[in-house]
Amino acid sequence: MFEGYRRKRKHSDARARERRAGGAAPRSRTLVGMSGMHGCPHSAALPDPEPEALAETCPECVALGQHPVQLRKCLVCGHIACCDSSPSRHATAHFHATGHPVMRSFEPGEAWRWCYEDRSLV
Ligand SMILES: [Zn+2]
Ligand SMILES: [Zn+2]
Ligand SMILES: [Zn+2]
């Protein structure tokens, strides 16, 4: 006697559509207070003029036989390192090793700067 069709259908599929229909900006950073988007104190403390680049490419990648995807330049000491899309992320490693907070793109035609402390463009 094997008549047991175990049919267990759950009709809860429609409930899987849980979307936060919050509209615009559910978490806007209103807690930043005095330091606005361009109020990064780290970039204000950078040396002026900007330090010269210490290398043409990421020397740590060269030592490892890797190819940096894009290059970043530390604006505190001029250290050249590779971006977070590169295998070893030497620019981020440089920040962790030295505490130098601000770098900029070392790619031709790019001039944006990134503060690791603020984790934002500055
Ligand atoms: Zn900063
Ligand atoms: Zn590298
Ligand atoms: Zn540096």
At 30 the pLDDT is: 42
In angstroms, rounded to a whole number, what is the distance separating the alpha carbons of residues 100 and 45? 11
Between 90 and 5, residue with greater pLDDT:
90
At 9 the pLDDT is: 53
At 39 the pLDDT is: 83
Ligand nearest to the CA of 94: 3
For residue 43, the one-letter residue type is S
Q: What is the mean pLDDT of residues 15-30?
A: 45
Q: Is the pLDDT of residue 28 over 70?
A: no
Q: What is the mean pLDDT of residues 41-45?
A: 95
Percentage of residues in the chain having pLDDT higher than 90: 68
Ligand nearest to the CA of 58: 2
What's the Rg (C-alpha) of the chain? 24
Task: Tell how far the Cα of 56 is from the centroid of ligand 2, in angstroms.
Answer: 12
Q: Is the pLDDT of residue 38 over 90?
A: no
Continuous segment of H or E residues that includes residue 73: strand 71-74
Q: What is the mean pLDDT of residues 94-101?
A: 98
Ligand nearest to the CA of 85: 2
Task: Tell how far the Cα of 77 is from the centroid of ligand 3, in angstroms.
Answer: 4
Q: What is the mean pLDDT of residues 29-55?
A: 77
